Structure 1
Amino acid sequence: MRLTPEQAAIIRSAAAEVFGSDARVWLFGSRVDDAKRGGDIDLLIECDQPIANPAFSAARMAARVQRGLHGRKVDVLLLAPDLLRLPIHDIARSQGVSL
C-alpha cells in the first residue's frame, strides 16, 4: 500500500467527520500496488446508514482529503443501503485494503 500511516489517518479522520465513526474506508486502485508509481487515491466509503446527499458528501470527503494531503487527487466511491450497488463496488472491496 502506497500511503504513509499519517496519510491513512487523515483519510480515516475525514471519513469519520463526513460519514460518521462507523464508516468503513477502503483504498483501492493503483495505490494498493507497491510496484506502481504515482496515481490518484481511490477510496470506497462504506456506510450502513443511507446517505441523504451522496454527491455532496463524496465531494466534501474528497475536498477534505485533498486539503490534508496537499492537493493529491482523490476519487471517492460510496456504498450505502440507499445507493445502487455496481460491479466497481465489489472490485474495490475485493481488491482494496481496509484503512
Structure 2
Amino acid sequence: MMRLTDDQVRTTKSTIDRVLGVPHKVWLFGSRADDKLRGGDIDLMVETDAVFPNRARVLCQLHGALTMALGERKLDIVLKDGRTDESPIFQIARRTGFQL
C-alpha cells in the first residue's frame, strides 16, 4: 500500500504535529504510495483549516524538521491551509495517496 516503514510514518506524523501544533491531515502520494514502483522521493501533502500568515516559513520549518527526523532524503511537501485555494495537486494527492 505504501513504501514507508511504520517508524517513518510515526516519525513523519509526530514531527508534523510538533511543527504545526494545529489539527491537520497528512497524505503520502506519488511514487512512495505505489508498492510497484522503486525509489522516489517522499511526497507529502499537509492539509489544515488553520491559517498561517507566512506559509513559506511553515513549509521551510516542516522541511527542515522532517529532514532532521528522517535523514537526508528528497522530500516534497505541499501545504494547504485555510486560505489556500484548491488546486489539482491537492486533488491528486487525495485521490492517489494515502492518509497517514
The question of a shared fold, defined as TM-score above 0.5 by the shorter chain, is answered with: yes
Moved over 3 A (4+): none
1: CA distance, partners of 2:32 / 2:22 = 24
Q: What TM-score do you get using the length of structure 2 for normalisation? A: 0.92
After superposition, residues 5-84 of structure 1 pair within 5 angstroms as 5-84=6-85
Deviations 1:51-89 (Å, cap 9, x if unpaired)?
A: 221111111111111111110111110112211221111
SS at match of 2:26: strand
Cα shift at 1:35: 1.0
Pairing 1:96–2:83 present: no
Count of aligned residue pairs for this structure pair: 99
C-alpha RMSD of the superposition: 1.1
| Matched-pair contact (CA < 8 Å) for 1:2–1:32 | yes
Contact 1:19–1:47 under 8 Å retained in 2: no
Give aligned-pair identity as a percent: 40
User: Bigger shift: 18-27 or 37-46?
Assistant: 18-27
AA of the residue aligned to 2:97: G
- For 2:35, what is the secondary structure of its paired residue? coil
Q: Which amino acid in 1 is paired with 2:49? A: D
Match of 1:88, SS? helix
2:67 partner letter: Q
Letter in 1 for 2:66: V
Structure 2 unaligned spans of 5+:
none
* Alpha-carbon separation, structure 1, partners of 2:48 and 2:20: 7
Q: Secondary structure at the match of 1:48?
A: coil
